[in-house]
Amino acid sequence: MNEQRLGRREFLAGSGLVFVGVVLGQDVTPPAGLVRCAGFPAYARWAYLVDTTKCIGCGNCVRACRAENNVAKKVEEAPESASPAAPADERSALSRYLYTEGHKAENSAEQPTRFRTWVERYVQVETPQGIAVRVDSPEGGEHGYPPIAEKVLQGFFVPKLCNHCAHPSCVKVCPTSATYTSPEGVVLVDDKRCVGCGYCIQACPYGMRHLDRRFGRGVAEKCTWCYHRITKGLKPACVAACPTGARRFGVLADPEDPVTAYIRTNRVYTIRPETGNDPQVRYTQLAREVL
Amino acid sequence: MKHIRHLLVVAVVGLVVAAAAVVVLYALVPAGFGAHPPGWVYRADSLKEHADAPPLAYAAEESCAQKSCHGGENAVTRLNTTLRGGHKDIGCQACHGPAQSHVASDGAKDSPVIWKPETRVGAAEYDKLPKEEQQKIDDARAAFHVGFCMGCHRELAGKPASLPQIASFEKHRKQNGDGSEAGCTSCHSAHKPAM
């Protein structure tokens, strides 16, 4: 009888593969036929790229995000204000212009403190004590930036949003599994399961979570990359509203996609990779101060 | 017999505990939790809820440039989306704002024009006005555009040098304009800004 038996070597090699499979989990075998992009988990479907050299700090993205997702302005916002209609932008373009001229912000008592995305301004200035770095994001950059009185040596804007990490600490600490990673790699929050404990707010190293009390209780809201849009083949609202192409969104599985092609052929960076969260939003030309 | 009776009691208690655990799990664990794909723990309906809501505010970028709307030189309406110069790569909604309600109503309502409310005159109505009235409206619109355009083009620390920036609009107007109370769009077309 010609019986096929498993030799010791095959057994050890097979055991090793099983061990690696268990340790790496779903990253070990990408779906058949997919062209992968280095640095992204096998299941990730989309890529988000921020070109910091193109951002002009106009605040379009922050206003678009609020309009598209009806983002609460403050944590104390009343439950009845959770209307499905997009909130009107009360401030005129003129008032935003006056703000950049150094005038006080209109409705300063109503300044929003909650955002799903915002834009930070980094400026190197000359002071009597030497060179200093100033970082500001008044009202998340939603309504522009005031002028800087000191002598400016260098400056740039950096849009910030949820990094949709491959190993998100907010998912790990959630006691009710309300925060989860979707099968496409988007980190979402289930508002029906969130109890508002705030662990994820403490755990996120990027400060991307905020409490929204309009549900009658606290729900730790976050950027979804406009999941309701991207699943329909549209771009996130912040990308659609960006006038300079500083925010770009692409499909990872498509090697012809301009964003995927850019990431594959250029040096791109992530913010604070040392946290171990493996952030998935890629940035170009990031300065040391941001990293 | 005596020992078998003890075993039966243990078995019955075990069954009751197991049944209670199943009932509690059924009551507490939502439907579809951890079902698909294996190892991904979330309530299955949550994905669908995210995908369905909220209603769109921003329309698809391709919506505006359809031939029956504002597409190309042969657009049915006289407003067309041909952009040139420095503004050629800007998406319509970046300046005009969210347009889904306009698109959904087939252009019937919520026209996303960047004009002061009192200068919102329909194209047909505008054409019927005398020249002086048209000029007044044009001036009001141009003046209103200053605040809008300067949202991007105001000179400010942090902006890239490749972006045309204006430190003082008044100075810029005196240097380049004809001295009238003109706004940005008196000299520049917003869709083809090069002079």
Q: Per-residue pLDDT tens for A73-82?
A: 766 555 444 4
Q: Is the pLDDT at A33 greater than 60, yes or no?
A: no
Q: What is the rounded CA–CA span in Å between residue B153 and residue A35?
A: 41
On whether the CB atoms of residues A97 and B149 are closer than 8 A, the answer is no
Closest CA to B104 of B67, B59, B65: B59
| CB pairs A-B closer than 8 Å | 152
Torsion of Cα atoms, B124 then B126 then B127 then B132, to 10°: 170
* Chain A residues inside the 8 Å CB shell of B154: 97, 100-101, 144
pLDDT tens-place string over residues A201-217:
999 999 999 988 888 88
CA separation for the pair A184, A166 (Å, rounded): 11
**What does the pLDDT read at residue A114?**
83
Q: What one-letter code names the amino acid at B168?
A: S
The radius of gyration of chain A's CA atoms, rounded to the nearest angstrom, is 22
**The pTM is what?**
0.81
More confident position, A291 or A48 = A48
CA atoms within 13 A on the CB side of A107: 11
Instruction: Identify the pLDDT of residue A225.
Output: 96
What does the pLDDT look like over A213-232, one tens digit per residue? 888 888 999 999 999 999 99
Among B106, B118, B110, smallest CA distance to B143 is for: B118
- Higher-confidence position of A84 and A269: A269
Q: What percent of chain B has pLDDT over 90?
A: 18
Annotate B66-97 with b (16+ C-beta within 10 A) or e (fewer): eeebbbeeebeeeebeebeeebeebbbbbbeb
CB-nearest to A60 from B41, B54, B94 is B94
Distance from CA of B6 to the nearest CA of A (A): 40
Percent above pLDDT 70 for chain A:
77
Helix-strand-coil percent breakdown of chain B, rounded to 5?
Answer: 50, 0, 50
| Vertex A60: Cα angle to A201 and B122 (nearest 5) | 140
Mean pLDDT, residues A12-22 taken together: 66
Enumerate the β-bridge partners of residue B169. Answer: none
C-alpha torsion B52→B55→B58→B59, nearest 10? 70
B45, B58, B172: which to substitute to probe chain A, counting the most A Cβ within 10 Å? B58
Residues of A with Cβ-Cβ distance to B50 under 8 angstroms: 182, 188, 224, 227-228
The string of pLDDT tens digits covering residues A163-200 is 999 999 999 999 988 999 998 999 999 998 999 999 99
Above pLDDT 70, what percent of chain B? 86
Question: Does any CB of chain A come closer than 8 Å to the CB of residue B90?
Answer: yes
User: B76 falls in which pLDDT band (50, 70, 90)?
Assistant: low
Residue-level pLDDT at B36: 64
pLDDT at residue A79, as a whole number? 47
- Exposure string (b/e) for A85-123, b if CB count within 10 Å is 16 or more? ebeebebebbbbbbbbeeeebbeeeeebebbbbbbbbbb
Does residue A32 surpass a pLDDT of 70?
no
Widest pairwise Cα distance in chain A: 93
Mean pLDDT of B68-90: 74
Contact (Cβ atoms closer than 8 angstroms) between residue B191 and residue B75: no
Residue A88 pLDDT: 45
| Cα→Cα distances B22→A75, A110, A177, A269, B44, Å | 39, 50, 20, 48, 20
User: What does the pLDDT read at residue B39?
Assistant: 63
Q: Residue A281: how many CA atoms within 13 Å on its side-chain side?
A: 27
Residue B25 has pLDDT above 50, yes or no: yes
ipTM score for this prediction: 0.80
Q: Give residue B132's pLDDT band: very low, low, confident or very high (50, 70, 90).
A: confident
B146 pLDDT band (50/70/90 cuts)? confident
> How confident is residue B27, by pLDDT bands cut at 50, 70 and 90?
confident
User: Mean per-residue pLDDT for B81-91?
Assistant: 84
Is the pLDDT higher at A206 or at B32? A206
Q: How confident is the model at residue A243 (pLDDT cuts 50, 70, 90)?
A: very high
Could you tell me if A168 and A277 are in contact, meaning their C-beta atoms sit under 8 angstroms apart?
A: yes
Q: Average of pLDDT values for A9-37?
A: 60
Q: Which two tokens stand for residue A283?
A: 């940035």
Interface check B150 vs A, CB under 8 A: yes
Residue A123: φ, ψ to 5°: -135, 130
Q: How far apart are CA A260 and CA A181, in angstroms?
A: 21
